[in-house]
Amino acid sequence: MKILVAGAGLFGRTHMELLVGQGAVIAAADPVVALADRARADFGAETGPDAIALMDTFRPDGVIIAASAAAHLPLAGAALARGIPVLVEKPVALTSKEVARIGQLAAASGTFALPGHVLRFSAQHRALASAVHRSTIGPVLSVTSRRYRDAGHALRYADIDPVLMTMIHDIDLAQWMTGNHAVSARADRVRGRDGRSVTHATLRDSGGVLWQLVSGWTYPGEDAPPDRIEVLGEDGSLELVVGSGLTSSAAGRIFHSDPTEDALLAEQTAFLAAISTGIAPPEVTMDDAIAGLKAVEMVLADLGLVGSGSA
C-alpha cells in the first residue's frame, strides 16, 4: 500500500516509522527541505516540498496529514478531490467551520476522512469507555481529565493554543464517555515564564454532565505525571491513570495497562484496513471532530481568545 505523509516534523516521522514497520511504501512532503531529505534518508521515502504535487506523481492509496494545523484543510481538500482517503491529525482544523468543510468534502468524494483522535484507538481508554457505556457506574454526572505536557510545547507550538492542541484530546474523551456534546464553557488560564501555561475549563454538556478539564504546558522535561481521567456516576466512579490501569470504585483494578500498547499503530492499522474496504473506521467520525472544535471555540471564547486560535 502507498501512503503519503504530509508533514515531516516530529509526528509525521512517528507515523512514517510505523508505516514502514507495516510494510507500506511511503512518500513524505514538507516545505522544509531538510525535513523531507531526512525522511528520505531515514525511511526510504519518496520526498518533495509540495504534498499536492506528490498526490499526482506518487499516486498514494491514502494520505496521512501530519502537517501544521493551518495546512490541514487545503491538504485534506486536495486529497479528497482526487478520491484519496485521509487520516487528518488532530486538531482536524483550526475552526469548527473548517472541520465541517472537510466533512462536506469527504461526503462528496466517495471516500472518507478519519479524524486523528488517537485515544479512540487506545485499549486502556476503550476499556474505560466500555465500562462507562455498560452503565457500571450508573448515569454519568461528571468527567474530570488532566493532561500535562512539557514546557517545550509552548515554544514548539507557539502558533497554536493549548486548548486546540492538547485539551482537544480531553474534550473528545468527554464526548466519547458521555455520548453528549458541550453546550457551554467557563475557563481560566495562568501563565508562567517562557510561554508556560495551565488552563482549567469547566464545560456543561447536552445531557447536563459537567466536564472539568485541565491542560498544562509546564513541565521542565518529559517527566510530567501521567494523564488521568475520572468518570463519576450516580452509582460509583472509574479512574484511568494512563500507563497504570483502570480502577473501579466498586471492584478495584479492572484493567491493567499494557506498557507496549501503541494506540497510533492501532489507528493507522484501522486507516489502512479502511482503505482496502472503502468503509470508514467507526471509532470516530467527522461529526465528533466538528463537535470537539465547537467545544474548543467555547473555551477559547471564555478565555477571550475567540477567533484567534492562538494564545
Region of 197 please: left (phi>0), alpha (psi -120 to 50) or beta: beta
Any contact of residue 125 with ligand NAD (CB under 6 A)? no
Q: Tell me which of 18, 25, 71, 210 binds ligand NAD, using CB under 6 A.
A: 71
Task: Name the closest residue to ligand NAD (Cβ).
Answer: 9
Please answer whether residues 7 and 30 qualify as being in contact, where contact means their C-beta atoms are separated by less than 8 angstroms.
yes
Any contact of residue 67 with ligand NAD (CB under 6 A)? yes
Strands 228-233 and 140-150: antiparallel
State the nearest-atom distance from the C-beta of 133 to ligand NAD, in Å.
Answer: 23
DSSP code for 164:
I
Q: Tell me which of 116, 162, 233, 281 binds ligand NAD, using CB under 6 A.
A: 116
State the nearest-atom distance from the C-beta of 218 to ligand NAD, in Å.
Answer: 17
Catalogue the E-assigned strands of the chain. Answer: 2-6, 25-29, 46-48, 62-65, 86-89, 113-116, 140-150, 182-191, 197-205, 210-219, 228-233, 236-241, 245-248, 252-256
DSSP code for 224:
P
Chain residues 5-44 in contact with ligand NAD, contact rule CB under 6 A: 6-12, 29-32, 35
Rg value, the chain, Cα: 19
Any contact of residue 51 with ligand NAD (CB under 6 A)? yes
Any contact of residue 118 with ligand NAD (CB under 6 A)? yes
Closer by beta carbon to ligand NAD, 30 or else 288? 30
Q: Residue 183: helix, strand or coil by DSSP?
A: strand
State the nearest-atom distance from the C-beta of 309 to ligand NAD, in Å.
Answer: 12
Closer by beta carbon to ligand NAD, 12 or else 281? 12
Region of 83 please: left (phi>0), alpha (psi -120 to 50) or beta: left
Any contact of residue 216 with ligand NAD (CB under 6 A)? no
Q: Of 117, 158, 126, which is closest to residue 310 (Cα–Cα)?
A: 158
Q: Tell me which of 69, 93, 99, 114 binds ligand NAD, using CB under 6 A.
A: 69
Query: Rule CB under 6 A: which residues touch ligand NAD?
Result: 6-12, 29-32, 35, 51, 66-69, 71, 75, 89-90, 116, 118, 165
